Structure 1
Amino acid sequence: MVSVVITTYKRPPEAVEKAVQSVLDQTYQDLEILIVDDNKNNSEESKLIAEAFSGRDRIKYIKQDGNKGACAARNLGITNAQGEYVAFLDDDDTWEPEKLEMQLARFKDADENVAMVYCLGDVVDISTEPPTVSEYYTTRLYKDEITFHDQLKYDYIGSTSQGLMRKSALVKLGGFDESLPARQDYEMWLRISKNYRIYGVKKVLFHYIQHGMEQITKSPKKAWTGYKIVYKKYYEDYRKDPDAHIGMLQRIIETVKEYNYFLYQYYRIKKHIIKRFVK
Structure 2
Amino acid sequence: MNNVIVLTATTPRLSLFFKHALPSIINQTHPPAALVLISDTRQISQEEETILQNKLNDIPLYTLTNSHTLGAAGSWNTGIEFISEHFPNSYIAIIDDDDLWYPDHLSSCIANSNLGKADIVLSGINIKINQEIVAVNIPKEITVRDFFIGNPGWQGSNTFIKTKLATKIGGFTDGLISGNDRDLAIRVLETGIAKITYTNMATVEWICNQSPDALSAPGSKQKLIGCAQFLKLHSNKMSAYEIDTYFLRAYDLFSLSKEDILYELNQRGGDND
**TM-score class normalised by the smaller sequence:** 0.7 to 0.9
Query: What are the Cα deviations for residues 139-179 of structure 1, in whole angstroms up to 9, with x where unaligned?
Result: 4xx31x22223333432124210121000000000010012
CA distance in 2: counterparts of 1:146 and 1:263, whole angstroms? 26
Taking only aligned residues, the RMSD between alpha carbons, in angstroms, comes to: 3.1
2:114 maps to 1:108: yes
Alignment of 1:99-178 (within 5 A): 99-109=105-115, 111=117, 114-126=118-130, 131-136=131-136, 138-139=137-138, 142-143=139-140, 145-178=141-174
CA distance in 1: counterparts of 2:74 and 2:128, whole angstroms? 27
Contact 2:92 2:161 in 1 (8 A): yes
CA distance in 2: counterparts of 1:249 and 1:47, whole angstroms? 50
2:98 maps to 1:98: no
Q: TM-score, normalised by structure 1?
A: 0.77
Distance 1:235 1:255, change over 3 A: closer
Superposition deviation, residue 103 in structure 1: 1.3
Contact 2:12 2:42 in 1 (8 A): no
Alignment of 1:228-247 (within 5 A): 228-238=228-238, 242=239, 245-247=240-242
Query: What are the Cα deviations for residues 210-240 of structure 1, in whole angstroms up to 9, with x where unaligned?
Result: 35555433373222322322222223322xx
Aligned to 1:273: none
Contact 2:148 2:246 in 1 (8 A): no
Q: Match for 1:122: what amino acid?
A: N
Q: After TM superposition, which residue ranges in structure 1, 4 or more long, deviate above 4 angstroms? A: 46-49, 211-214
Contact 2:154 2:182 in 1 (8 A): yes
Gaps of 5+ in 2: 264-273
Superposition deviation, residue 100 in structure 1: 1.2
Distance 1:225 1:20, change over 3 A: same
Q: TM-score, normalised by structure 2?
A: 0.79
Alignment of 1:16-95 (within 5 A): 16-40=18-42, 49-50=48-49, 52-53=51-52, 57-58=58-59, 59-64=61-66, 68-81=70-83, 82=87, 84-95=90-101
Superposition deviation, residue 30 in structure 1: 4.5
Shifted more, 219-228 versus 99-108: the winner is 219-228
Query: What are the Cα deviations for residues 92-141 of structure 1, in whole angstroms up to 9, with x where unaligned?
Result: 00001111111122222574xx4211111112335xxxx322214x44xx
Identical-residue share of aligned pairs (%): 18
SS at match of 2:248: helix
CA distance in 1: counterparts of 2:178 and 2:236, whole angstroms? 21
Shifted more, 146-155 versus 70-79: the winner is 146-155
2:245 maps to 1:250: yes
Q: Match for 1:200: what amino acid?
A: Y
How many residues matched?
252
Gaps of 5+ in 1: 269-279
SS at match of 1:35: strand
Aligned to 2:216: 217
Q: Match for 1:117: what amino acid?
A: V
Distance 1:262 1:252, change over 3 A: closer
SS at match of 1:122: strand
